[in-house]
Structure 1
């Protein structure tokens, strides 16, 4: 009888041990499932925040995208619509305009082709005649693969303009080659209707491949003073020796006349 009681007690003890082990195992399973759920939820939150940040960065945020003479510049169709009060293309009169663009007291003779780029040249004539460019800095200089000096932003950081933007892209070279002396309008990549007041001067032959919007509107040429521009400004490169940045020689438009 005593033997049977002992066996029964041992059986009950083994059962309790087994049940305890099962409960421990079940607890581990529950914690593992909970941890997996938390990990999945955390991943979903991280992905949602990342997507939201990208949407904010690319579709909004402070300021405007910088108009650039980037490595992505040629159809002439405008993809969107003009914004603001854009000067009439009739202002260019379909003729060649001559004048002087002065940078740091270095005079550059210029010609603007109102027949080849009537909308862009009309905008430039309007801005020049209103004194818009007086005292405005040239904020960007590139070298090594693209050789341009970019000017015309009243904010001085690449985000400013005249209060309007326009297209279409006009007179862009089909081969993407912009010879030294070319004057062309800067714009936001892949946006044909983002031209404004910013323009760039090509100081060495440069190739700018077309992007989805096309090339860059060529408004004219520098007819004299390019060597002086190189010696006085562009040969010094950009600040800090980088290939794309603010000119090492601070550069300002000290005069711009046209007739």
Structure 2
């Protein structure tokens, strides 16, 4: 009888030990599942933030799927922009200016609309007349989503400018469509960050207009096909859709009259 009681107690002890182990195992499983869920959520958040950051970098503002021309960030308030050296908008004379932008020996005929974008055109006239652009590079080519060659940065990496910034945006297309041949000013998210960097659209491109679009200066009237064959078709140096051109591009001269 005593032997049976002892055996029963041992069975109950083994059962309690087993149940305790099962409870520990269950808790570990729950903790592991919880940790995996938390890690998964964290990964999703990180990826979402990284994607958002990439979109912001590429578009100069959130919400668009393709890279857009951008410059160094500048003050967002008109009163805070650097106006000390900004050329007077009167310089554009409310008329069309014609000239030649020469890249790698390729002469692009250009027309700038001083009536539609007086401040931007006045700035370009002033910089061109000073020889500011001579010898500068076209540092950025985009070949995926949008189709532009970006030029005019004295730093050569997208961070430079003429020592002043101005705004707001002028003459931006209401539908966000920039036809091939368009010449427009690059900027960051702020409308008051325009400086010396501009971009040439070599194929019809739609750019986000949620922050005001981009100032259209004018158009390339000749030479675009030659630029495409000599520079654009070679793509970017690293083969990506947004980067330095595989064929280095230098502004030989920029004349306007």
Please confirm whether the aligned pair reaches a TM-score higher than 0.5, indicating the same fold: yes
| 1:29-108 paired onto structure 2 within 5 Å | 29-34=23-28, 36-37=30-31, 40=34, 44=38, 47=41, 51=45, 65=57, 71=66, 80-82=76-78, 84-86=81-83, 87=86, 88-108=88-108
2 CA distance for matches of 1:155 and 1:47? 40
Tell whether the 8 Å contact from 1:101 to 1:256 is kept in structure 2 after alignment. yes
CA distance in 2, matches of 1:128, 1:21: 90
Return 5+ residue gaps in structure 2 as ranges: 69-74
Provide the C-alpha distance between the structure 2 equivalents of 1:211 and 1:72, rounded to a whole number of angstroms: 13
> 1:95-115 CA deviation, whole Å, 9 max, x = no partner?
333333221122223222222
Instruction: Report the secondary structure of 1:15's partner residue.
Output: helix
Deviates more, 1:132-141 or 1:44-53: 44-53
- Aligned Cα root-mean-square deviation (Å): 3.9
2:123 alignment partner in structure 1: 123
Note the C-alpha offset of 1:22: 0.9
Name the stretch that deviates more: 40-49 or 123-132.
40-49
SS state at 1:220 partner: strand
Give the stretch that moved more between structures: 217-226 or 228-237.
Answer: 228-237
Tell me: CA distance 1:47–1:243, structure 2 relative to 1, closer, same or farther (3 Å).
closer
Corresponding residue to 1:212 among 199, 210, 213: 210
Unaligned runs of 5+ in 1: 1-6, 74-78
Q: Which has the larger radius of gyration?
A: 1
What is the match of residue 12 of structure 2?
18
Partner secondary structure for residue 156 of structure 2: coil
Alignment partner of 2:139: what SS?
strand
C-alpha offsets along residues 49-106 of structure 1, whole Å, 9 cap, x if unaligned?
Answer: 875786688679xxx9357798588xxxxx9425641425444343333333221122
Q: Kindly indicate whether the alpha-carbon contact (under 8 Å) linking 2:102 and 2:251 is maintained by their aligned counterparts in 1.
A: yes
Structure 1 residue 137 displacement after superposition: 1.4
| The 10-residue stretch of structure 1 (19-28 or 124-133) with the greater mean CA deviation from structure 2 | 124-133
Cα–Cα, structure 1 residues 66 and 166, in superposed 2: closer, same or farther, change >3 Å?
A: farther
CA contact (8 A) 1:142 1:148 kept: yes
Residue of 27, 39, 59 corresponding to 2:21: 27
| Cα distance change of structure 1 residues 71 and 52 upon mapping to structure 2, 3 Å threshold | closer
Q: TM-score, normalised by structure 1?
A: 0.71
**2:241 pairs with 1:249:** no
Alignment equivalent of 1:223, drawn from 221, 224, 230: 221
Aligned positions, number: 243
TM-score by length of 2: 0.71
Q: How does 1:116-195 map to 2 (within 5 A)?
A: 116-143=116-143, 146-162=146-162, 165-188=165-188, 192-195=191-194
Contact 1:72 1:210 in 2 (8 A): no
